[in-house]
Amino acid sequence: MSSSVIDFIATEARFGARNYEPIGVVLSRGEGVWVWDTDGNRYLDCLSAYSAVSQGHCHPKILAAMVEQAHRLTLTSRAFHNDQLALFYEEIAALTGSHKVLPMNSGAEAVESAIKSVRKWGYEVKGVPDGQAEIIVCADNFHGRTLAIVGFSTDAETRAHFGPFAPGFKIIPFGDAAALEEAITPNTVAFLVEPIQGEAGVVIPPAGYFAKVRQLCTANNMMLVLDEIQTGLGRTGKLLAEQHEGIEADVTLLGKALSGGFYPVSAVLSNNDVLGTLRPGQHGSTFGGNPLACAVARTAMRVLVEEGMIENAARQGARFLEGLKAIRANTIREVRGRGLMLAVELHPEAGRARRYCEALQGKGILAKDTHGQTIRIAPPLVITSDQVDWALERLATTLTQDLS
Ligand SMILES: *Cc1c(COP(=O)(O)O)cnc(C)c1O
């Protein structure tokens, strides 16, 4: 390790809140699927900043749009109109088939905004008695880190000593439509769920689950809110993961790749009157919908489609999954994934996934463990067949080692 690496890591540890435990690599440059550390070592990025850099690091067209807009106008606040917001609305609505859009910044803000909006819809449209609205969520969910959201997490570390929490949430098992049916009451306003649970370890629900969920939400006049902050925008090989299920959400949440990793941009999309209940002064964000964010997001969406990244995610994801399944290693318990949202779950006896991620770092691959036993693999959607094969070779050598 060079002295500069020790210095960056030690200085972070000295001054920073220790709310992360990064792999010991200090990155200073990125291009496409590759990132370089301060010593000039190159790595294939198999995390993509939790799917935010789906378009690849420093995509030249998004970069150009950002620089051009930064020279002209960055922030007006929503107190005034700007000449980018309308175009962003038009383009994201056309891309996703949505009618209404609420622009925010982080993913957690989009989730919070959806919670506020479906509650308001519940009181003003559905007729739920004031203060009684219920939202159903799933065990092992990940929707962000704000107080309302961590209040309905089932992960002890996420919640411990952050309470008291907001009431009005009911937790049911993921992938269990009967549990949803049982949990619904006349005061239920929404079911908030990830199409595939990402942070839980890329958990794919049983076939037919979402068709039944859609049916229950419609029958009970409640909103199906799909958190596609990680699964959306091509990650699973379709624009939205809901398309694999043949359903349409009432409210869709996007973030992460909406900016291609340049800037925090998120959005709440609705295809009915949920967002229509918000009136001036009732919700807002200083940076939400700013011209810089809009210009970046417009280009991030455009390159995703124009450069065939969604089709590539389907093609390379299938190749990657097949390659992972072909690895014969005693360490592997299960391999799963859809598109380029992949995971290798290790046997408990194999040792912790973090050890394997550190071994992969030594072979030029950056991946991140989740929940102890799972290595997730989510490279930028611009990955080529040769790069997939290159990664598979290294994964095979690493996973056949015993690091317990
Ligand atoms: C990352 C993520 C969020 C939170 O997004 P932030 O930008 O970190 O606030 C919410 N939901 C899902 C499914 C995510 O993967």
- Please list, in sequence order, all residues whose beta carbon lies within 8 angstroms of the beta carbon of residue 43, skipping any fewer than 6 positions away: 25, 27, 34, 35, 36, 37, 361, 364, 365, 366
The pTM of this model reads 0.97
Backbone angles phi, psi at 28, to 5 degrees: -135, -5
| CA 150 to ligand 1 center in whole angstroms | 12
Assess whether the C-beta atom of 337 lies below 6 angstroms from ligand 1.
no
Q: Measure the CA–CA gap between 88 and 78, rounded to whole angstroms.
A: 14
227: annotated active-site residue = yes
276-292: pLDDT as tens digits = 999 999 999 999 999 99
Query: What stretches in the chain show pLDDT beneath 70?
Result: 1-6
Domains in the chain, start-ordered, CATH in brackets?
Answer: 28-58+308-399 (3.90.1150.10), 60-306 (3.40.640.10)
233-263: pLDDT as tens digits = 999 999 999 999 999 999 999 999 999 999 9
Query: Residue 57 has what pLDDT?
Result: 98
Query: Residue 42 has what pLDDT?
Result: 98
Query: Residue 371 has what pLDDT?
Result: 83
Query: Residue 2 has what pLDDT?
Result: 52
CA distances from residue 316 to 38, 80, 310 in whole angstroms, order as listed: 30, 44, 10
Assess whether the C-beta atom of 288 lies below 6 angstroms from ligand 1.
no
Assess whether the C-beta atom of 289 lies below 6 angstroms from ligand 1.
no
| CA 303 to ligand 1 center in whole angstroms | 22
Catalytic residue among 37, 45, 227, 250: 227
Instruction: Tell me the one-letter amino acid at 44.
Output: L
256: annotated active-site residue = yes
Query: Residue 403 has what pLDDT?
Result: 84
- Ligand 1 atom nearest the C-alpha of 194 is 13
| CA 101 to ligand 1 center in whole angstroms | 18
Query: Residue 208 has what pLDDT?
Result: 97
In this structure, the residue with its CA closest to atom 6 of ligand 1 is: 107
Token reading at 163: 């309470």
| CA 305 to ligand 1 center in whole angstroms | 22
Catalytic residue among 100, 120, 142, 174: 142
Q: Measure the CA–CA gap between 375 and 369, rounded to whole angstroms.
A: 4
Catalytic residue among 120, 238, 256, 368: 256
